Amino acid sequence: MQNHDERSGLLYLLAGIGLGALIGAVIALLFAPKSGEEIRSDLSQRVHDLSEKVRELATQVYERGGETVRTVRERIARKAHEVGEEIAPDEA
């Protein structure tokens, strides 16, 4: 029973923190020294910058993944050749 009470208390604490953050964000937007248009422009620019960073990261991951695949293929081909020579040295 005590474990359930601890979970409920933690849940209420997290809900309170979330609600407080939401209220704080709304108040900050209402009293911000920028106009709504400026805020939307800033948010739009930040989203654009973030999407560019994600694209760059995805490209880097893709390139590194390609390099890894090539390296693994080369190793497999070498091992296959070595095993083939061990199994049938006269045929290789």
d(CA 29, CA 18): 17
DSSP string, 50-72: HHHHHHHHHHHHHHHHHHHHHHH
In angstroms, the CA 92 to CA 78 distance is 13
Do 51 and 18 share a domain, yes or no? Answer: no
* pTM (predicted TM-score): 0.42
Residues contacting residue 42 through CB under 8 Å, at least 6 positions apart: 34
Domain around 12 = 1-31
In this predicted structure, what is the pLDDT of residue 5?
A: 66
Q: Is a pLDDT exceeding 70 seen at residue 71?
A: yes
Task: Output 91 or 75, whichever has higher pLDDT.
Answer: 75
- Contact status, residue 29 vs residue 39, Cβ threshold 8 Å: yes
- Residue 26: Cβ within 10 Å count: 10
User: Quick one: 47 and 77 in the same domain?
Assistant: yes
- Residue 1 confidence (pLDDT) above 60: no
Instruction: Look at the block and give the residue holding tokens 């009470």.
Output: 5
Instruction: Please write the tens of the pLDDT for every residue from 14-60.
Output: 888 988 888 888 888 777 777 778 878 877 888 888 888 888 888 88
Number of domains in the chain: 2
Q: Are residues 84 and 46 in the same domain?
A: yes
- Report pLDDT for 56: 87
Predicted confidence at residue 7, as pLDDT, reads 67
